[in-house]
Amino acid sequence: MTQLPEAEVTRKGLASEVVGKRVTSTEVTTASLVRHQRNRPELYKRLEGRKISGASRRGTAVMLELEDDTTFVIQMGSRAWITHHKASATPDKTVRMVLLFASSGALHYHDQNKDGALFVVGDDEVDELPELAPGGIDPLADVFTWQAFSSKLVELGLPLRAALVDRRVLLGLGDVYADEILWTAGISGARDASQLSAQEVRRLYRGVLEVINEAVKQGGASASETQERTEEDDPDDVPSSFLRVHGRQGEPCPRCRHAVQLEDVAGHLSFHCPQCQT
């Protein structure tokens, strides 16, 4: 799935590549992705001729701010990414939208499962959209204490592995980073999230910040957007080099050398070390 670090890496790329450019042409090949507009031509009308003035993010949704006080929201699908190309580049089979710019270049939005969303709304409407409601903590945007994090965990009373991927606790975390955070903290995902000691919550809190920020630094755990992908590819199939346990079933744990296992933990298949995660 598209997770928080990947969305932040995408936002940074958009800020670098397309801010200041003017959209000259838009093509969306999957009509079901267009929301809040009646149809695709209405979306095109609200985009074309507009200059992009900024790039921001709400959870895993990335947003391009337009010069006429509107915002183009790209709600990233579960298997989605964005690439930058020459205007003449031929889109592959995963591309659902192409934006062309007046100066040069093109932006391709890939969405393998076709479950994202593309829409333009007024800046004053953004906060009212249920899709962008804050819910839980955004570890990359919110300043939060370990006590605030603890309160979120206690409120739900879920097994820890399930709590970490619940957007009421943390935004944009999926299986990859939940596994990595739990390993970093040395805590089993089967534990009751509301029964952790203060010391364990602090370890988990540090693990969240360490893992998520390192993932952004590394460009995300998914395959690099510069790599060739096909419609059948799943970027989670091959673990990135900086991941310690996710995708590494049978390999020695980097901390204790016990074999990493893949098991159902609190209803989620989870890569973990049964020896040093307690």
Nearest alpha carbon to residue 100 among 34, 26, 16, 40: 26
Interatomic CA distance for residues 269 and 50, integer angstroms: 45
What pLDDT, on the 0 to 100 scale, is given for residue 129? 87
pLDDT tens across 26-45, in order?
999 999 999 888 899 999 99
What pLDDT, on the 0 to 100 scale, is given for residue 100? 97
Write down the pTM of the prediction.
0.89
Contact 276, 253 (CB under 8 A): yes
For strand 23-28 and strand 80-85, is the pairing parallel, antiparallel, or unpaired?
unpaired
What pLDDT, on the 0 to 100 scale, is given for residue 71? 96
Give SS3 for 223.
Answer: coil
The structural domains of the chain, ordered by start, are: 4-132 (3.20.190.10), 146-272 (1.10.8.50)
DSSP bridge pairs for 272: 261
What pLDDT, on the 0 to 100 scale, is given for residue 131? 81
What pLDDT, on the 0 to 100 scale, is given for residue 239? 59
What pLDDT, on the 0 to 100 scale, is given for residue 1? 64
Q: Please identify every stretch of the chain with a pLDDT value under 70, giving residue numbers as ranges.
A: 1, 222-239
